[in-house]
Amino acid sequence: MPELPEVETTKKDLSKKTILEKVKGCWVGLPNRTFIRSDFKKRDYSEIIKGGKIENVYRKGKNIIIDLSNGVSILMHQKISGHILFGKWQYDSGKWISKDKLLAQKINSFIYFIIFLTNGNMIALSDPRKFFKVEFWKKEDLEESQAIKELGPDALEIDLKRLQGLLGKRKQGIKKLLLNQSFISGIGNIYSDEMLWDAAISPFRKANSLKEDETKKLFKSMRKILKESLRYKGDSTSDYRLITGEEGSYQKRHKVYQRDGEKCPRNDGGIIKREKFGNRSLRYCPICQK
């Protein structure tokens, strides 16, 4: 699933390409994953957004939101396997086809939502597993929605004092808590494994058991890992791609994620262990992570 670095990278790249561009309309390939949330006079997807200029592209947790000049906001959540692309496609025999070699790769071909711009470019959402979500909101409604208000502080914006206060009140395991978007938003399975290893903290520790120095280490590791992944344009272990269709490269820098059975990079004699964690798996070193 795209996490904070992937969604932030997409947001930044999309902003550079689309700010002040005018929207012509949209195409909806899966109506059951596309929703009109506000009470618009028009109920047609294209008519709702037609004519609006893109004023802002921003991120809230793992959501990308596009604000238009006509007061409409388009929220896109890529869920487990979706990613957002930018380019040009033609509809042929029931499929959207691109002449661009990267955009034409199979991983980028599962297109189920497109925003058409008047300059001929398109914003497309590809998702092989069809779990994505697109929502059309009036801007003021979205800002007051439960989906936005219930998000915890952003993992890149939270400060140490607030993190210490939040952790001190929780008896949950630290790994589970880091994945809870109402506690802190933006972190998923990959980066929670990596930052807990970097901080040498066991994923099974109770959050309120962390000592002051351990919380400081976790805070530093959180910032370090997320910023490092941003430098490498995100993690393409699975389906995530940049808006150009290229892969990010953070997957080449994993210390524990998907390194089951390998020696711990700290050379402490530990072997990276994988354990079931709900419907996911977690990875950790049983020697250095205490």
Percent of the chain having pLDDT more than 90? 97
Residue range 87-114: mean pLDDT, rounded: 97
User: Is the pLDDT at 183 greater than 90, yes or no?
Assistant: yes
Which listed residue (24, 37, 280, 286) is catalytic?
Answer: 280
Which listed residue (2, 50, 60, 241) is catalytic?
Answer: 2
Give CA–CA dist 78/72, Å, rounded. 19
Domain spans, the chain:
4-149, 160-284
Residue 34 φ/ψ, nearest 5 degrees: -130, 125
pLDDT tens string 132-150: 999 999 999 999 999 899 9
pLDDT tens string 3-29: 999 999 999 999 999 999 999 999 999
User: CA nearest 234: which of 284, 191, 266, 182?
Assistant: 191
Question: 4-149 with 160-284: one CATH topology?
Answer: no
What's the CATH number for 4-149? 3.20.190.10
Residue range 64-74: mean pLDDT, rounded: 98
87 touches 105 (CB < 8 A): no
pLDDT tens string 77-97: 999 999 999 999 999 999 999
- Does residue 53 carry a catalytic annotation? no
- Does residue 62 carry a catalytic annotation? yes
Q: What is the pTM of this model?
A: 0.97
Give CA–CA dist 50/69, Å, rounded. 10
pLDDT at 216: 98
Which listed residue (11, 62, 233, 259) is catalytic?
Answer: 62
User: Is the pLDDT at 33 greater than 90, yes or no?
Assistant: yes
- Does residue 2 carry a catalytic annotation? yes
What's the CATH number for 160-284? 1.10.8.50
pLDDT band at 1 (very low <50, low <70, confident <90, very high): confident
One DSSP character per residue, 223-258 reads HHHHHHHHHTT---SSS---TTS----GGGG-SSTT
